[in-house]
Chain A
Protein backbone atom coordinates (compact mmCIF):
# COMPACT_ATOMS: atom_id res chain seq x y z
CA UNK A 1 0.00 0.00 0.00
CA UNK A 2 1.36 3.39 -1.00
CA UNK A 3 1.71 5.96 1.76
CA UNK A 4 -0.51 8.44 -0.05
CA UNK A 5 -3.26 7.40 -2.44
CA UNK A 6 -4.92 9.83 -4.84
CA UNK A 7 -7.31 9.12 -7.69
CA UNK A 8 -5.53 10.42 -10.82
CA UNK A 9 -8.77 11.19 -12.64
CA UNK A 10 -8.96 12.86 -15.08
CA UNK A 11 -11.80 15.01 -13.82
CA UNK A 12 -13.74 17.29 -16.17
CA UNK A 13 -16.32 19.78 -14.89
CA UNK A 14 -18.23 22.77 -16.27
CA UNK A 15 -17.29 26.28 -15.20
CA UNK A 16 -18.90 27.22 -11.90
CA UNK A 17 -19.05 23.66 -10.57
CA UNK A 18 -17.90 22.63 -7.10
CA UNK A 19 -14.90 20.33 -7.33
CA UNK A 20 -13.93 17.78 -4.70
CA UNK A 21 -10.46 16.24 -4.70
CA UNK A 22 -9.41 13.58 -2.21
CA UNK A 23 -6.48 11.63 -0.84
CA UNK A 24 -6.03 8.94 1.76
CA UNK A 25 -2.87 8.17 3.67
CA UNK A 26 -1.65 5.25 5.70
CA UNK A 27 0.73 6.59 8.35
CA UNK A 28 -0.99 8.08 11.36
CA UNK A 29 2.26 9.84 12.29
CA UNK A 30 1.82 12.25 9.38
CA UNK A 31 1.01 15.69 10.71
CA UNK A 32 1.44 18.29 7.96
CA UNK A 33 -0.97 18.30 5.05
CA UNK A 34 -0.75 20.31 1.86
CA UNK A 35 -2.32 20.80 -1.55
CA UNK A 36 -0.19 21.84 -4.49
CA UNK A 37 -1.33 22.92 -7.96
CA UNK A 38 0.82 22.08 -10.97
CA UNK A 39 0.26 23.55 -14.40
CA UNK A 40 1.59 21.70 -17.40
CA UNK A 41 5.39 21.85 -17.64
CA UNK A 42 5.65 23.91 -14.45
CA UNK A 43 6.72 23.14 -10.91
CA UNK A 44 4.13 22.57 -8.17
CA UNK A 45 2.94 25.64 -6.28
CA UNK A 46 1.54 25.51 -2.76
CA UNK A 47 -2.17 26.23 -2.48
CA UNK A 48 -2.93 25.42 1.14
CA UNK A 49 -1.49 23.70 4.17
CA UNK A 50 -2.74 22.64 7.57
CA UNK A 51 -1.49 20.84 10.64
CA UNK A 52 -4.78 19.91 12.22
CA UNK A 53 -8.04 18.15 11.59
CA UNK A 54 -10.89 20.32 10.43
CA UNK A 55 -11.45 22.83 7.68
CA UNK A 56 -9.31 25.68 6.41
CA UNK A 57 -10.69 28.14 3.91
CA UNK A 58 -8.89 30.50 1.53
CA UNK A 59 -11.10 32.26 -0.98
CA UNK A 60 -12.69 29.66 -3.26
CA UNK A 61 -10.57 26.86 -1.79
CA UNK A 62 -11.28 24.77 1.32
CA UNK A 63 -8.92 22.13 2.66
CA UNK A 64 -10.32 19.48 4.96
CA UNK A 65 -8.40 16.97 7.07
CA UNK A 66 -9.88 14.04 8.97
CA UNK A 67 -7.04 12.42 10.90
CA UNK A 68 -9.27 9.71 12.35
CA UNK A 69 -10.05 8.46 8.83
CA UNK A 70 -6.67 9.46 7.35
CA UNK A 71 -8.51 11.37 4.66
CA UNK A 72 -7.81 14.80 3.18
CA UNK A 73 -9.87 16.81 0.73
CA UNK A 74 -9.71 19.97 -1.32
CA UNK A 75 -12.89 21.71 -2.41
CA UNK A 76 -12.94 24.34 -5.14
CA UNK A 77 -16.05 26.51 -5.35
CA UNK A 78 -17.15 28.38 -8.48
CA UNK A 79 -14.45 26.62 -10.51
CA UNK A 80 -12.85 28.61 -13.33
CA UNK A 81 -11.08 27.51 -16.53
CA UNK A 82 -7.89 28.91 -14.99
CA UNK A 83 -8.20 26.23 -12.28
CA UNK A 84 -7.45 23.59 -14.92
CA UNK A 85 -4.28 21.89 -13.67
CA UNK A 86 -3.04 18.85 -11.79
CA UNK A 87 -3.74 18.96 -8.07
CA UNK A 88 -1.34 17.12 -5.79
CA UNK A 89 -1.89 16.30 -2.16
CA UNK A 90 1.29 16.18 -0.12
CA UNK A 91 2.03 15.11 3.41
CA UNK A 92 5.03 16.16 5.43
CA UNK A 93 7.12 13.80 7.50
CA UNK A 94 10.64 13.76 8.83
CA UNK A 95 11.67 15.56 11.97
CA UNK A 96 10.40 18.90 10.80
CA UNK A 97 7.95 17.75 8.16
CA UNK A 98 10.37 18.55 5.34
CA UNK A 99 10.09 15.26 3.49
CA UNK A 100 7.01 15.67 1.34
CA UNK A 101 5.22 12.54 0.15
CA UNK A 102 2.98 13.35 -2.78
CA UNK A 103 -0.05 11.65 -4.23
CA UNK A 104 -0.10 10.90 -7.95
CA UNK A 105 -2.08 14.05 -8.66
CA UNK A 106 -5.56 14.55 -10.13
CA UNK A 107 -5.81 16.21 -13.53
CA UNK A 108 -8.69 18.70 -13.48
CA UNK A 109 -10.20 20.38 -16.53
CA UNK A 110 -12.77 23.15 -16.07
CA UNK A 111 -14.68 23.71 -19.28
CA UNK A 112 -15.97 27.21 -20.11
Chain B
Protein backbone atom coordinates (compact mmCIF):
# COMPACT_ATOMS: atom_id res chain seq x y z
CA UNK B 1 0.00 0.00 0.00
CA UNK B 2 0.94 3.66 -0.19
CA UNK B 3 3.33 5.01 2.36
CA UNK B 4 3.35 8.36 4.13
CA UNK B 5 3.30 11.20 1.64
CA UNK B 6 4.34 14.79 2.20
CA UNK B 7 3.78 17.86 0.09
CA UNK B 8 5.47 19.88 -1.15
CA UNK B 9 8.74 18.00 -1.44
CA UNK B 10 10.60 21.31 -1.52
CA UNK B 11 9.56 24.74 -0.33
CA UNK B 12 11.56 27.93 -0.70
CA UNK B 13 10.27 30.99 1.07
CA UNK B 14 11.45 34.36 2.27
CA UNK B 15 12.12 35.33 5.84
CA UNK B 16 8.95 36.48 7.54
CA UNK B 17 6.55 34.53 5.33
CA UNK B 18 3.99 31.92 6.41
CA UNK B 19 4.25 28.30 5.23
CA UNK B 20 2.13 25.19 5.47
CA UNK B 21 3.49 21.68 5.14
CA UNK B 22 1.14 18.77 4.55
CA UNK B 23 1.32 15.14 5.64
CA UNK B 24 -0.85 12.26 4.43
CA UNK B 25 -0.34 9.30 6.77
CA UNK B 26 -0.75 5.66 5.87
CA UNK B 27 -4.46 4.89 5.61
CA UNK B 28 -5.85 3.70 8.91
CA UNK B 29 -2.95 4.94 11.02
CA UNK B 30 -4.26 6.83 14.03
CA UNK B 31 -0.97 8.14 15.41
CA UNK B 32 0.96 10.85 13.57
CA UNK B 33 4.26 12.54 14.37
CA UNK B 34 6.23 15.51 13.09
CA UNK B 35 10.01 15.70 13.31
CA UNK B 36 12.54 18.26 12.08
CA UNK B 37 15.93 17.25 10.68
CA UNK B 38 18.58 19.91 10.33
CA UNK B 39 21.61 19.36 8.11
CA UNK B 40 23.97 16.80 9.61
CA UNK B 41 21.64 16.02 12.50
CA UNK B 42 19.17 13.31 13.38
CA UNK B 43 15.44 14.05 13.38
CA UNK B 44 14.12 15.99 16.38
CA UNK B 45 10.63 15.34 17.74
CA UNK B 46 8.14 18.16 17.35
CA UNK B 47 4.61 16.89 18.02
CA UNK B 48 2.54 13.71 18.34
CA UNK B 49 -1.14 13.34 17.44
CA UNK B 50 -3.41 10.52 18.54
CA UNK B 51 -6.48 10.92 16.39
CA UNK B 52 -7.41 14.58 16.09
CA UNK B 53 -5.74 15.78 19.27
CA UNK B 54 -2.17 16.75 19.95
CA UNK B 55 -1.11 14.33 22.69
CA UNK B 56 2.34 15.89 23.06
CA UNK B 57 3.51 19.17 21.51
CA UNK B 58 6.52 19.61 23.77
CA UNK B 59 8.96 19.60 20.85
CA UNK B 60 7.53 22.63 19.07
CA UNK B 61 10.33 25.22 19.37
CA UNK B 62 8.14 28.30 19.88
CA UNK B 63 4.68 29.70 19.24
CA UNK B 64 5.43 30.35 15.57
CA UNK B 65 4.95 26.63 15.01
CA UNK B 66 1.51 25.05 15.06
CA UNK B 67 0.09 21.78 13.76
CA UNK B 68 -3.43 20.51 13.19
CA UNK B 69 -5.11 17.24 12.29
CA UNK B 70 -8.78 18.17 12.15
CA UNK B 71 -10.23 14.90 10.86
CA UNK B 72 -7.70 12.50 12.32
CA UNK B 73 -5.99 11.81 9.02
CA UNK B 74 -4.14 14.54 7.10
CA UNK B 75 -2.03 16.88 9.19
CA UNK B 76 -0.68 20.34 8.43
CA UNK B 77 2.36 21.90 10.09
CA UNK B 78 2.13 25.69 10.01
CA UNK B 79 5.05 28.04 10.53
CA UNK B 80 4.47 31.76 10.93
CA UNK B 81 7.03 34.53 10.39
CA UNK B 82 9.63 32.09 9.13
CA UNK B 83 13.26 32.60 10.09
CA UNK B 84 16.43 31.38 8.37
CA UNK B 85 16.98 29.00 11.28
CA UNK B 86 13.76 27.19 10.37
CA UNK B 87 15.46 25.79 7.26
CA UNK B 88 15.46 22.01 7.60
CA UNK B 89 13.75 18.86 6.38
CA UNK B 90 10.40 18.40 8.08
CA UNK B 91 9.53 14.72 8.42
CA UNK B 92 6.15 13.22 9.13
CA UNK B 93 5.63 9.70 10.45
CA UNK B 94 2.58 7.62 11.28
CA UNK B 95 1.93 4.46 13.24
CA UNK B 96 -1.00 2.07 13.23
CA UNK B 97 -2.78 2.36 16.53
CA UNK B 98 -0.70 3.26 19.51
CA UNK B 99 2.54 5.03 20.02
CA UNK B 100 4.30 1.71 20.60
CA UNK B 101 3.79 0.68 16.99
CA UNK B 102 6.49 1.19 14.40
CA UNK B 103 6.72 4.74 13.07
CA UNK B 104 6.78 4.90 9.27
CA UNK B 105 8.36 8.04 7.88
CA UNK B 106 7.55 10.05 4.80
CA UNK B 107 10.24 11.49 2.50
CA UNK B 108 10.05 14.90 4.14
CA UNK B 109 9.59 18.48 2.99
CA UNK B 110 12.82 20.40 2.51
CA UNK B 111 12.16 23.96 3.69
CA UNK B 112 14.58 26.72 2.76
CA UNK B 113 14.09 30.18 4.23
CA UNK B 114 16.03 32.84 2.36
Binding site for B on A (CB under 8 A): 4, 6, 8, 41-46, 49, 88, 90, 94-105
Contact = CB atoms under 8 A, between A and B. Distances in A.
28 contacts: A8-B40, A41-B107, A42-B107, A43-B91, A43-B108, A45-B104, A45-B105, A46-B102, A88-B42, A88-B43, A94-B48, A94-B56, A94-B99, A95-B99, A96-B100, A97-B99, A98-B48, A98-B56, A98-B95, A99-B48, A99-B56, A100-B43, A100-B45, A102-B44, A103-B42, A104-B40, A104-B42, A105-B41
B7 interface: no
A11 to B, nearest CB: 15
Interface in B50-70: 56, 59
A44 B102 CA distance: 12
A102 B42 contact: yes
Nearest to A8: B40
Interface in B8-63: 31, 33, 35, 40-45, 48, 56, 59
Nearest to A39: B107
A99 B35 CA distance: 10
Contact of B4 (A43, A46, A88, A90): A43
Interface of B: 4, 31, 33, 35, 40-45, 48, 56, 59, 91, 93, 95, 98-100, 102-108
Contacts of A8: 40
Given A43-B106, A43-B107, A45-B105, A98 B33 contact: yes
Given A43-B4, A44-B105, A98-B31, A6 B99 contact: no
Given A97-B100, A98-B103, A103-B42, 13 more contacts: A42-B107, A43-B107, A45-B104, A96-B100, A98-B33, A99-B48, A100-B43, A100-B45, A100-B103, A101-B45, A102-B42, A102-B44, A104-B40
A100 B108 CA distance: 17
Contacts of A97: 99-100
Nearest to A95: B99
